[in-house]
Chains A and B, each alone.
Chain A
Amino acid sequence: MDTRGGKGMITFVQLLVIGISVGFIYGLIAVGFVLIYKSSQIFNFAQGEMVMFGAFLMWSFLVPLGITPALAIILVLAIVGLAGYGLERFPLRPMIGQPILATIMITMGIGVFLRGLALLLWSSNIGIKFPAIITEKTVSIFNVPISNVTIGIFSFGLILVILLSLFFNYSRTGLHMRAAAESHQLAQSMGIRVTQAIAQSWAIAAIVATVGGFLLGYVRGIDFGLTEIGLIAVAAALVGGLESFKGAIFGGLIIGVAQTFTGGYVGYGLKEVIPFIIMVFVLIFKPYGLFGLVKIERV
Chain B
Amino acid sequence: MRRVSGVFDTSYIQDMTIFRTKYYSAGMVILILFFLILPVFGSEFWLTFINSTAVTVIALQGLNILTGYCGQISIGHTAFMAVGAYSSTILAAQFELPFWLCLPCGGLGAGLAGILFGLPSLRVKGYYLALTTIAAQYLIIYMIKTPFPEITGGAIALNVPEVNLGSFVLSTETHFYYFILIMLAVMTFFAKSLMRSHFGRAFVAIRDNDIASEAMGINLYKGKLLAFFIGCFYAGIAGSIWADYVRVISPDDFTLTSSIWQIGMLIIGGLGSTLGPFFGAIFIGALRETCVICGPWVTSIIPQLGAQISASLVEMTFGIAVILFLVFEPRGIGHRWEILKESYRLWPFSY
What is the bound-complex CA distance between A11 and B212, given in angstroms? Answer: 55
The reply on B189 being an interface residue by CB < 8 A is: no
A143 to chain B, nearest CB (A): 35
Candidates A120, A234, A269; contact of B131 at CB < 8 Å? A234
What is the bound-complex CA distance between A105 and B315, given in angstroms? Answer: 14
Give the A-B pair count, Cβ closer than 8 A.
Answer: 149
Interface residues of B toward A: which range? 35 or more
Interface residues of A toward B: which range? 35 or more
- Known contacts A123-B306, A270-B146: A112-B319 contact under CB 8 Å: yes
Bitwise, A107-129 to B at CB < 8 A (1) or not (0) is: 01111111111111101100000
Residues in A lying within 8 Å of B, measured CB to CB? 43, 90-91, 94-95, 98, 100-102, 104-106, 108-121, 123-124, 231, 234-235, 238, 267, 269-270, 272-273, 276-277, 279-280, 283-284, 287, 297-299
B139 contacts A280, C-beta separation under 8 Å? yes
Which residues of chain B have C-beta atoms less than 8 A from A105's C-beta? 263-264, 267, 322, 326
A113 contacts B315, C-beta separation under 8 Å? yes
B146 contacts A109, C-beta separation under 8 Å? no
B306 contacts A297, C-beta separation under 8 Å? no
Which residues of chain B have C-beta atoms less than 8 A from A280's C-beta? 120, 132, 135, 139
Candidates A102, A273, A283; contact of B128 at CB < 8 Å? A283
B260 contacts A108, C-beta separation under 8 Å? yes
Bitwise, B300-330 to A at CB < 8 A (1) or not (0) is: 0000011111011111111110110011001
- What residue in chain B is nearest A112 (Cβ atoms)? B319
The secondary structure that dominates the A interface is: helix
User: Which B109-148 residues sit within 8 Å CB-CB of chain A?
Assistant: 119-120, 123-124, 126-128, 130-132, 134-135, 138-139, 142, 145-146
Which residues of chain B have C-beta atoms less than 8 A from A106's C-beta? 322-323, 326-327
Which residues of chain B have C-beta atoms less than 8 A from A273's C-beta? 138-139, 142
- Known contacts A98-B330, A283-B120: A108-B315 contact under CB 8 Å: no
A90 to chain B, nearest CB (A): 8
A299 contacts B209, C-beta separation under 8 Å? yes
